[in-house]
């Protein structure tokens, strides 16, 4: 059993670094050299709060029912915090979990019944920093003399200083790197960790590189936009609109201003200069996280606790960042859903180092993996499987041949798009299943999507209605139904 546990989650991490010829995460690369890297890892559901609900319960959305942001997490579900406490740890949060608490039993006028982001049940408050109102960080900035008007204004770019990359995202923040939200969280964790004896347990959840896509110096100019690959299907709108009505709607309504306040119009209308500027600063924000993790890792080593500490690094979801002429994560393309996963074991576990696993893994696998590392029983109700055999250098028997995820777009329920297609709120979702050969997307009241990944790896042609693929589409629809039935709620099962 590890003496110490450090769980790290980024937000909206782009796993491929936009094709950069160099890595901007040397400290995570060094961690990987001591760890197992899962290269085919996927989050479970979009958007943010549902994704985190799956991460923190080990359940698919069909069971935890957090379908959109600010949906309460039913109190009947055990969380990562509860499981850690049952193994003797006091898990402490630094950052946020996008959790809305279950208001059952509260009067509607009770302020606690109002939807606001709270700490995940089971965790202690090390430095709670809800992304909607990071009040502690805001107080810190004001002490440093940074002037701003409110929770979003502190991310305003300082246009009195030089633009670091020549594009819309190149201007630096009002605050210095030492005072960023990333540095502030790590400072708080490091201060807490210095006072802990062996047996500490912390979860460090960064907001970044999630938008707003603005970075402090030197991260606003760290990455040369010209070294990054141009977005996939850049500007190829007409053919892409034929893929599916949902994608057509997204292309015709995706407001660039949601990605950066100085952009306007549609995402597809943004200039290549500004697209690459945004991608470069997104990568710069990833580099900032990495540098601060380097500080934290060094302190753990200096305190002689590195070999006794289990570390996991991952992200809640990915980011399109102009691939397929889209931004953020509301799409069925892999850039939205593929995320990194690194597991570093304590030295006495004698696990192989610097190994890579390419099997399909999912966010719901992490709680079973942690429980296996702690020698605890894995409840039958959990939807994931332990990755410990992989980490120990073994191949599990009968491992999954594909991965599944869901996307909920209930925000469109009252739009003309929903009315045009006869969609009720419950219809505003899609279920995705992907293996090495095909990707199948099921919509309750919209046409399906089928991509032939071997012949069309960039996923440009929907072949669901091609007669040559009729049997294939039916096979994958059957697999989707099997996935749903297999993972019906098993919370009352004995184990």
Q: Which sequence positions are flagged as catalytic?
A: 48
Cα 285 to Cα 342: distance, rounded to the nearest angstrom: 19
Residues 419/423/426/432 CA torsion (nearest 10 deg): -130
Strand 402-408 and strand 429-435: the pairing is antiparallel
Cα 46 to Cα 61: distance, rounded to the nearest angstrom: 10
Cα 476 to Cα 431: distance, rounded to the nearest angstrom: 11
User: Please, is 377 exposed, middle or buried when counting C-beta atoms within 10 Å of its C-beta (0-12, 13-18, 19+)?
Assistant: exposed
DSSP string, 86-151: HTT--EEEEE---EEEP-TTS-TTSGGGS--EEPPTT-EEEEE--TT--HHHHHHHHHTT---SST
Which phi and psi (to 5°) does residue 22 adopt?
A: -130, 155
Cα 478 to Cα 481: distance, rounded to the nearest angstrom: 5
Q: Which residues pair with 343 in a beta bridge?
A: 36, 312
Q: Which of 222, 237, 225 is nearest to 269 (CA)?
A: 237
Cα 447 to Cα 423: distance, rounded to the nearest angstrom: 12
For residue 314, what are its two tokens? 């991952």
Q: Are 412 and 418 in contact (CB under 8 A)?
A: yes
């Amino acid at each position: 059993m590890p003496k110490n546990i450090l769980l790290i989650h980024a937000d909206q991490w782009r796993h491929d670094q936009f094709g950069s010829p160099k890595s901007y995460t040397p400290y995570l690369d060094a961690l990987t050299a001591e760890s197992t890297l899962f290269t085919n890892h996927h989050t479970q559901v979009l958007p943010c709060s549902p994704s985190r609900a799956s991460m923190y319960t080990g359940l698919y959305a069909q069971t935890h029912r957090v379908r959109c942001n600010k949906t309460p997490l039913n109190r009947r579900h055990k969380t990562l915090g509860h499981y850690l406490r049952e193994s003797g740890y006091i898990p402490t949060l630094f950052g946020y979990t996008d959790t809305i608490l279950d208001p059952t039993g509260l009067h509607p006028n009770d302020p606690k019944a109002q939807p606001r982001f709270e700490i995940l049940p089971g965790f202690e408050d090390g430095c709670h920093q809800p992304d909607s109102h990071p009040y502690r960080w805001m107080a810190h900035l004001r002490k440093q003399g940074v002037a701003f008007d409110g929770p979003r204004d502190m991310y305003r770019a300082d246009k009195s200083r030089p633009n670091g990359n020549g594009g819309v995202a190149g201007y630096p923040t009002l605050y210095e790197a030492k005072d960023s939200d990333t540095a502030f969280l790590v400072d708080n964790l490091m201060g807490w960790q210095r006072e802990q004896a062996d047996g500490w347990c912390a979860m460090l959840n960064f907001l970044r590189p999630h938008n707003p896509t603005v970075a402090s110096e030197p991260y606003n100019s760290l990455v040369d936009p010209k070294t990054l690959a141009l977005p996939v299907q850049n500007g190829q709108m007409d053919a892409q609109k034929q893929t599916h009505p949902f994608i057509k709607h997204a292309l015709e309504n995706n407001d660039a201003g949601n990605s950066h306040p100085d952009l306007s119009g549609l995402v597809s209308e943004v200039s290549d200069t500004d697209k690459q500027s945004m991608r470069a600063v997104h990568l710069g924000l990833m580099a900032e996280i990495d540098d601060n993790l380097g500080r934290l890792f060094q302190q753990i080593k200096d305190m002689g606790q590195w070999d006794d500490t289990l570390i996991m690094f991952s992200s809640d979801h990915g980011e399109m960042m102009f691939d397929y002429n889209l931004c953020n994560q509301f799409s069925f393309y892999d850039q939205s859903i593929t995320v990194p996963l690194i597991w570093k074991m304590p030295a006495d576990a004698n696990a192989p180092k610097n190994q890579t696993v390419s099997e399909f893994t999912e966010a719901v696998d992490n709680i079973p993996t942690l429980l296996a590392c702690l020698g605890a029983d894995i409840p039958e109700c959990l939807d994931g499987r332990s990755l410990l055999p992989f980490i120990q250098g073994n191949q599990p028997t009968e491992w999954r041949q594909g991965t599944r995820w869901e996307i909920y777009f209930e925000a469109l329920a009252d739009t003309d798009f929903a009315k045009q297609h006869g969609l009720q709120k419950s219809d505003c979702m899609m279920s995705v299943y992907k293996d090495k050969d095909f990707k199948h997307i099921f919509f309750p009241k919209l046409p399906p999507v089928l991509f032939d990944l071997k012949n069309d790896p960039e996923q440009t042609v929907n072949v669901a209605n091609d007669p040559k693929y009729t049997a294939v589409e039916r096979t994958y629809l059957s697999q989707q139904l099997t996935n749903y039935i297999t993972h019906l709620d098993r919370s009352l099962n004995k184990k």
